[in-house]
Each structure stands twice: as C-alpha cells, then as structure tokens.
C-alpha cells in the first residue's frame, strides 16, 4: 500500500460526501479457498462483545433471522476484560449535559457533538435495558441503588461496575446467556475473511473460516443483506497491549478491502497503568483499572513523589492521554522504565472486595498491592478510530454496519473518555438494530430455523468476483509488525520514528508481494495465523500513514517534534480508503464534522 491523496485541504476527490454515492468495492480479497458451504440469514453479526451481542439480540427481537459469528468462544472478546465499568449519567445531580462536557474535553476538539449527545442521552435507558437483560451491577451498601465510581476525565461519579472490577465479565455473562436463551444461531471459532457484495455493490454476506471446532469447519459463507461488524480492536498491532490475542484488526482490514472508509486510526489510546512485567514483555498485559485511581490510589515515582499533582486539576484522574504522557516524561527524566501505583492505604479488605481480579493478577506476578506499590507503564489499549459510520451505524458500503471499538462513530474524537466504550457499543448497537428493523426482511420470526450444519448448501460465487488477491504474510511476520509499531508509532512519535516504521512496513508488504509472484518460492499457505498477520500489517500501515500526516499533538496522538495542538490546520479528520491497486488514499475533512456516509 502506498499512501496518496490530499493533504490538509478540504473534502475533495473520490469517496462519499454530500451528493456522492458509496465508495465502490475494491475487489480485494484475502487469499483463501473458495467457500465450501453456506447458510442464509437476514443479518450476520461479526463479534460477540457488548456491541455484537446487543445488536444480535435486538435484530432477532425485531424478527430478523440473525447469525452471530465470533472468532473464539462467545465470551472471549475484549468486553470480558473490561474492568472499570460503564459510564452513564445515573447518579443524583448528574446529567447527560455534564457527561457530554467531559466527553468533549477528552476528545480534544474532534468529537462529533451529535454522536456524543446521542450517547449520553440514550445511555442511561440503554444501561437499564441491559440490567433487564440480566446484568447485575454492584449496589451501594444497604441499598438497591447502583454504586457509582469515578475514573479519569469524569467530574462526577458515573461509572457503574460489577463484581468490583469484573464489569465486562458480568455484561458478557448476561448477554451470552440471553443469546443462548433466545436460541440465536452462533458460529464460534470462526475468523471472518471478506465481505461479499452483489452486482450493485450492496452487502450480501461474508466469507469465514471455522477453525475445526463446532458443527462445521473450513471456509464457508453466510449470505445476508446486512452485516454488522463488531470485531473489537486492533491492540495486537503493538508488542504490549491490554487487548486479548484475538484483537488483530480484522474488521478494519475487511472494511478497507471492501472499499469502506476508515478514520482516526492514528488516535490509539495507551492506557496509563497496565502492570509492568519487564522490558521484554509482549502480548496481552494485565490491566490495573482506572477505577483504582478513582477510589484514591496515587501515581508515584521511585522516590514516592506524586508527580501528577499540579499537572492537571484532576491529578491522577486526568484524561488518559495526559496521565500516559506524564508517566512517560517522568520515566525519561529519571532514566527508569516504569512508575508506581500506590494503593497500600486501601487495606486488604478493600483490595479483596472492590478489586479482587486485579489483586489476584498482581499476586500471580509476585506483586502484593496491599503491601507494596504496583509497577505500571503505558500499553496500547483502545482504538478511538475505526470504520467510519453515521448515527445509525451505517458505513460507506451499503448494508455494512459497524459498532463498538471497530467503528468510528465520532464519539471519542482524539481520545476516548474512560468507560465510554461499553456504553458506545450498547447505544449504537441498538441504533443499528433499529435501522435494520426498518428495512425489508427476507425472513420472519415465524420462519423455520436455519438448516442444521449437516444440511449446509454449497456456497455460491459472489456476484462481485474478486479482482485482486492480497498477498499473505508469513505467520512469524506478526512479531515483526508489532515490534516495528511499538518502536515507531507508540506513545512517543516523531517524523523520524514514523518514517522508519513506514519504511519497514513497506518492506514487509513488498516482500510478501514478491514472494507471492515468485512461482519458485513457496508463499505462506492460507490459514488463521497468516490471515491475522496480513490484517495486522494492513491496519499498521494505515495507522502510520495517518500519524505521519497529522503533524501536531492532539489527544492520545503525541508527536515529539510537533508538541502543540494546531486547531487551524488539524481540527479535522482523515477519511482513508484502499484502492483497487492496494494504495491508500487519504482525504481530509474541511472541519471537525464528518460528511454523510450515504448519499442524500
């Protein structure tokens, strides 16, 4: 992929916008066997976190025949790992307007205010509907009222939590239980490969590979006129992340190959306080929830000094980008590799009742928070950008929707406010389901259930046959991509570091293309590890291209060589597409507002 397109100018050139139709499909596909089986549905939801399962349940309740496809087990996504909670204006004295204000501040001038207003006004009722689905949140002592805490960037206690620090696990439990009780068809251990489209460029389903477990295996297809991407994040593009191993950017890569626009990928949030496991630690790192600071833990350096005091009015509860940057500055000043989170004053009982998951994780690594400070250092945590959508979750490809971390709704802007992620997935999943319910259905609630696996029919060839096959990366290239990204596009970035990262990623891409074209060379075989590595390289190159172009520091994007925020030049977004020749095209919006995703 080669980055091309406009610079800081206005919205011009190909793409969607006022008076324009959707971006046509690129015809690019992953190298994979032809589908050997297929099933029919009205809606296929890809992902089983809070966004995916909420969308699936609402679509099914509206009478749409719904299939859920998920990469591992139903409860293995990022939602299960969420500790802190879900933010909503639920407490006395709190209002959606106050939640709106905190979100806009954290987003550093790039939030879509209409999207944020939608989130904060519909959020409280969405949380109560989640409770009616079966989620049980912690309550205040001797009360039925939901217990609320604070996290970074929030001026009020508005974070509902469950199991102390196991909110995501409880939400996942409730939604998985509801999906099973409703009898929704699910396909687990399945990596979705590419979008299928019809002759008019409208979504017609997905291809997927089932990893040898369940009712069927190998490459197949789910044919459906509506596809909801809820695939989660792309944290595995970095060496150290709080994301699970399945978070390899598959949804963003699929959308790019399908011709959809993505935006704001340069804004990767690095959580300030994952447990530091050493300079060579790679993969998923244990997270020390922001709620620990919300309950009064202090960030200190090796001398025991609270270095956040005086840097921001909220001290340790400043927005995440500010805390992460402060930690990095202090480590550089002192020539060390981490800071400490001190919660010894909590006492054993509070650790055991309020933060049992974190306590167990720390102790498993030889750290006892009851008696010693916890070593912490930032790690990749959340993608504020993703596949661009409107307020109904519609992307620039007709019939393709996105919600949750894979989506860019405009809610997060340049930096996500703590605990808005679960709420965003919940609210916009419901909006997607409402939009799908308004359209025609090819099945009714009274229709018979989909055919069992033994009766699966051979998959038909999609009307839009692929024109280009994307060269696959060798599975071992995944580690190379992660190390390149951590070194060049991590918390601290500069023109030099980003140029080196871009050159090294280009080399990997070029070598894969050369190996694919060389008939004397054995290229990587299609398979999960090769597909994941290829997806990671795709999203890495988009992220770096956007980060190179954004010559300012804003939100969670920190350029050492451009330390100031530049509203005059950069209070705007990139709209990035992948062309048929696998080149990236970057268009710049004229303002902080996004154009429509669909033609008026």
Cα–Cα distances in angstroms (integers) from residue 597 to residues 264, 391, 456, in the given order: 15, 10, 35
**C-alpha–C-alpha distance, residues 362 and 444, integer Å:** 50
Residue 468 DSSP SS3: strand
Beta pairing partners, 84: none
57: tokens are 């349940």
Beta pairing partners, 269: 382
**C-alpha–C-alpha distance, residues 561 and 493, integer Å:** 8
Helix (H) or strand (E) holding 381: strand 379-383
Residue with tokens 């921001």: 312
| Catalytic one of 320, 330, 541, 575 | 320
Residue 309 DSSP SS3: strand
Catalytic residue list contains 320: yes
Reference 385, options 598, 228, 539; nearest CA is 539
455: tokens are 């009766």
**C-alpha–C-alpha distance, residues 209 and 505, integer Å:** 26
**C-alpha–C-alpha distance, residues 497 and 435, integer Å:** 43
Task: Please give the DSSP secondary-structure letter assigned to residue 530.
Answer: H
The alpha helices in 5-74, defined as continuous H runs, are 50-61
44: tokens are 């296929």
Are residues 595 and 16 in contact, defined by beta-carbon separation less than 8 angstroms?
Answer: yes
Angle at 225 between CA 219 and CA 226, to 5 degrees: 90
Q: Catalytic amino acids? A: 320
């Amino acid at each position: 992929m080669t980055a091309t397109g406009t610079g800081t100018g206005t919205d011009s050139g190909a793409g969607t916008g006022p008076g324009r139709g959707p971006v046509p499909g690129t015809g690019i596909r992953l190298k994979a066997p032809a589908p050997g089986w297929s099933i029919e549905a009205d809606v296929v939801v890809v992902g089983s976190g809070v966004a995916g399962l909420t969308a699936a349940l609402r679509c099914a309740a509206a009478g749409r025949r719904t299939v859920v496809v998920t990469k591992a087990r139903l409860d293995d996504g990022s939602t299960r790992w969420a500790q802190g909670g879900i933010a909503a204006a639920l407490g006395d004295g709190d209002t959606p307007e106050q939640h709106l204000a905190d979100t806009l501040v954290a987003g550093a001038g790039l939030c879509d205010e209409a999207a944020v207003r939608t989130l904060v006004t519909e959020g409280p009722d969405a949380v109560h509907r989640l409770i009616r689905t079966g989620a049980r949140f912690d309550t205040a002592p001797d009360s039925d009222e939901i217990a609320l805490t604070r996290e970074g960037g929030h001026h009020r206690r508005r974070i509902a939590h469950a199991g102390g620090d196991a909110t995501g696990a409880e939400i996942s439990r409730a939604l998985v239980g509801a999906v099973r009780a409703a009898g929704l068809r699910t396909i687990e251990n399945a990596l979705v490969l590419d979008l299928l489209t019809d002759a008019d460029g409208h979504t017609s389903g997905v291809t997927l590979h089932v990893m040898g477990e369940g009712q069927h295996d190998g490459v197949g297809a789910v044919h459906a006129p509506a596809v909801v991407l809820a695939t989660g994040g792309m944290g595995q593009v970095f060496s150290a992340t709080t994301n699970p191993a399945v978070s390899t950017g598959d949804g963003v890569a699929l959308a790019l190959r399908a011709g959809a626009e993505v935006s704001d990928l340069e804004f990767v949030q690095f959580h300030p306080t994952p447990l530091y496991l050493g300079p060579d630690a790679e993969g998923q790192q244990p997270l020390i929830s922001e709620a620990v600071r919300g309950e009064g833990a202090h960030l200190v350096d090796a001398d025991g000094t609270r270095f956040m005091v005086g840097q921001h009015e909220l001290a340790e509860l400043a927005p995440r980008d500010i805390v992460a940057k402060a930690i990095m500055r202090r480590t550089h000043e002192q020539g060390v590799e981490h800071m400490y989170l001190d919660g010894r004053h909590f006492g054993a009982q509070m650790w055991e009742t309020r933060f049992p998951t974190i306590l167990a994780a720390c102790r498993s690594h030889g750290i006892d928070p009851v008696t010693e400070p916890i070593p912490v250092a930032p790690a990749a945590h959340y993608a504020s950008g993703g596949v661009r959508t409107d307020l109904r979750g519609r992307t620039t490809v007709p019939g393709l929707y996105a919600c949750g971390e894979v989506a860019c709704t405009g809610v997060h802007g340049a930096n996500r406010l703590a605990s808005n992620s679960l709420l965003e997935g919940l609210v916009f999943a419901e909006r997607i389901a409402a939009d799908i319910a308004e359209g025609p259905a090819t099945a009714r609630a009274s229709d018979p259930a989909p055919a069992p696996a033994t009766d699966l029919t051979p998959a038909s060839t999609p009307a839009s046959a692929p024109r280009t096959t994307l060269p696959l990366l060798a599975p071992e290239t995944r580690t190379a991509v992660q190390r390149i990204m951590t070194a060049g596009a991590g918390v601290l970035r500069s023109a030099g570091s980003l140029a080196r990262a871009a050159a090294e990623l280009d080399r990997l891409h070029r070598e894969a293309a050369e190996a694919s074209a060389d008939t004397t060379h054995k290229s990587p075989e299609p398979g999960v590890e090769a597909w994941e590595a290829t997806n990671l390289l795709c999203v890495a190159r988009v992220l770096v291209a956007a980060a190179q172009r954004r010559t300012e520091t804003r939100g969670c994007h920190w350029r050492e060589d451009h330390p100031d925020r530049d509203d005059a030049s950069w209070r705007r977004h990139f709209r990035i597409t992948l062309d048929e020749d696998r080149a990236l095209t970057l268009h710049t919006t004229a303002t902080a507002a996004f154009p429509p995703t669909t033609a008026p």
